[in-house]
Amino acid sequence: MKPKDIVTQVAEAPAKALETAVLESQHALRSINKPWREAEDYWYALGPGLTTGASDDDPSGIATYSQAGALYGFTLLWMAPLTFPLMSVVQEMCARIGLATGRGLASNIRERYSVKVLYALTAILFFTNVINIGADLGAMAAAGQMLFPAFNFYTFLGIFTVVSLGLQIFITYSQYARFLKYLTLVLFLYIITALTLDNLPWREIWQNTIWPNITWSKGTIIMICAILGTTISPYLFFWQTAQEVESRREEGRINPKLRHQLVTKREVRRMRFDVIAGMFISNLVMFFIIVTCGAVLFPAGIEIETAEQAALALQPLAGDQAYILFALGIIGTGLLAIPVLAGSAAYALAETFKWSSGLNKGLSHARAFYGVIIIGMFLGLGINFLGINPIKALIYSAVLNGITAPIILYFIVKLSSDKDLMGKWVSGKFAKSVGYSVIVLMTVAAIGAIIAFF
């Protein structure tokens, strides 16, 4: 090697060393940031399925799960893993219908089947949703009063009604969907609440999760029907389908005549991931609410009738931290669920009567659609002035859901299996078998609950 070459190598060595160091540091930073980037990609992949699943854990659902834990301890924990795959398959069918047809569920039922049946189904849906809206508003107001005793119940009732209406009427769909998506994070408060408890009997918890160990009675039959009616609810079917349509319309990708030909495998995979994630979070929260109330309230023999009573009962036994988290969760889940309840009824009625509909449209362009939302909200508000026992109303609505859901599910299975309608995106044999199994299960549960009542 010539002296000149040696001098050149020596001169370039620091620059090469610096370049190597920079490349290595960039590679290290990419490795560190990779999990965050993947988490961000997963978050952006979530949408209608996440908000649908999260809205299933509304204050009335929380009251049902709290009762299950307070009355029966851990013995109904098996309902969480049982309902997860059933919910996932059903909601995936609903999402698939919206994705492939570019139309909502009621619109598809109207086009393919008897409109008279649809009138009855949407009337029951509106009635049960109003009851749930009223119960949720009351639970939120009571939770607000627990946290801020200086304000009375009716002040919070008015505030939450106005806020919920404002979210639906005065902001764009993209902003509204983003708000709902971030609001789902409040559900993790219930997981945190359970994990703040000391000495949870995990062995007993897992045993009851894997294998049912209950004493059959009228009460347990009604509770099982209530849990099924709360988790596999008709309003979720209509909302899931409508939101798939809305999200694609927002992207400018709706053509009902050719829709199923335009759907890509990537869209279907993304939709499926979204639905499964939403249902998983929903059932995980159900699981931890039952664990919390089963560990704290059941041993103390404390019976509760509402979600806010569950929060109050937790305070002396589990401490202020659990009480505050539980109360905040009631308010957050109510803000998430009430627009879904009101919106799903509005979509169903608008599609039934061929009104202009959609949260992407302004009030002046979809007056009847927003009129249903407003009427539903104020009827729900009015329920809180009638002195009706909210838990009885919720049980009755859950039984109504149990009766109505199998009928709607029949149409969902038939629609998702219709090759002319769905093209290559028809549901497979496994999905259809699960769908029909859910129909049978919910029918039996509803009949059992009716017999138990009388």
Say which residues have a Cβ less than 8 Å from residue 415's Cβ, sequence separation at least 6: 97, 105, 108, 109, 112, 421, 422
| 342 half-sphere exposure, CB direction, 13 A CA radius | 33
pLDDT along the chain (454 residues), means of 10: 49 51 49 45 54 76 87 93 92 89 87 83 89 87 87 91 87 68 72 83 93 84 86 87 75 52 77 87 91 89 76 72 78 84 91 85 86 94 81 66 83 89 85 92 85 78
- Decide if 260 contacts 423 (C-beta within 8 A): yes
- Decide if 150 contacts 162 (C-beta within 8 A): no
Please tell me the distance from the alpha carbon of residue 343 to that of residue 243, in angstroms, as a whole number: 10
Residue 15 in domain: no
Farthest-apart Cα atoms in the chain, separation: 105
Torsion of Cα atoms, 83 then 86 then 91 then 96, to 10°: 160
As given in the structure block, the two tokens for residue 58 are 């509304």
As given in the structure block, the two tokens for residue 25 are 């540091």
Other CB atoms within 10 A of residue 78 CB: 18
Kindly write down the DSSP assignment for every residue of 353-386, as one continuous string.
TT----TTS-GGG-HHHHHHHHHHHHHHHHHTTT
Other CB atoms within 10 A of residue 419 CB: 10
pLDDT, position 413: 92
Torsion of Cα atoms, 358 then 129 then 273 then 441, to 10°: -140
Please tell me the distance from the alpha carbon of residue 218 to that of residue 121, in angstroms, as a whole number: 27
Please tell me the distance from the alpha carbon of residue 290 to that of residue 72, in angstroms, as a whole number: 9
- To 10 degrees, what angle do helices 265-300 and 218-231 make? 150
Domain housing 254: 46-453
pLDDT, position 85: 93
Task: Choose among 133, 130, 161, 117: nearest CA to 58.
Answer: 133
pLDDT, position 389: 66
As given in the structure block, the two tokens for residue 57 are 């854990």
pLDDT, position 33: 47
Residue 385 in domain: yes
Q: What is the 3-state secondary structure (H, E, C) of 93-112?
A: HHHHHHHHHCCCHHHHHHHH
pLDDT, position 160: 92
Torsion of Cα atoms, 230 then 231 then 237 then 238, to 10°: 40
pLDDT, position 149: 87
What is the distance of C-alpha 335 from the center of its chain? Answer: 12
Residue 25 in domain: no
Residue 9 in domain: no
3-state secondary structure of 202: helix
Place of tokens 């347990």: 220
Kindly write down the DSSP assignment for every residue of 30-66, as one continuous string.
HHHHHHHHHHHHHHHH--HHHHHHHHTS-HHHHHHHH
| Domain at 171, CATH number | 1.20.1740.10
Residue 214 in domain: yes
pLDDT, position 60: 79
pLDDT, position 258: 47
Please tell me the distance from the alpha carbon of residue 336 to that of residue 341, in angstroms, as a whole number: 9
pTM beyond 0.95: no
As given in the structure block, the two tokens for residue 325 are 């988290």
Radius of gyration (C-alpha) of the chain in whole angstroms: 25
Task: Choose among 284, 331, 351, 439: nearest CA to 115.
Answer: 351
Residue 314 in domain: yes
Residue 384 in domain: yes
Q: If residue 86 lies in a helix (H) or strand (E), which one and from where to where?
A: helix 79-101
- Go through the chain and tell me how many residues it has: 454
Give the long-range contacts of residues 27-36, CB within 8 A, separation 24 or more.
none
Task: Give phi and psi for 427, each to the nearest 5.
Answer: -70, 150
Other CB atoms within 10 A of residue 407 CB: 17
Please tell me the distance from the alpha carbon of residue 180 to that of residue 187, in angstroms, as a whole number: 12
Please tell me the distance from the alpha carbon of residue 59 to that of residue 11, in angstroms, as a whole number: 71
Residue 239 in domain: yes
As given in the structure block, the two tokens for residue 140 are 């939120």
Overall number of domains in the chain: 1
pLDDT, position 45: 45
Q: If residue 315 lies in a helix (H) or strand (E), which one and from where to where?
A: helix 307-318
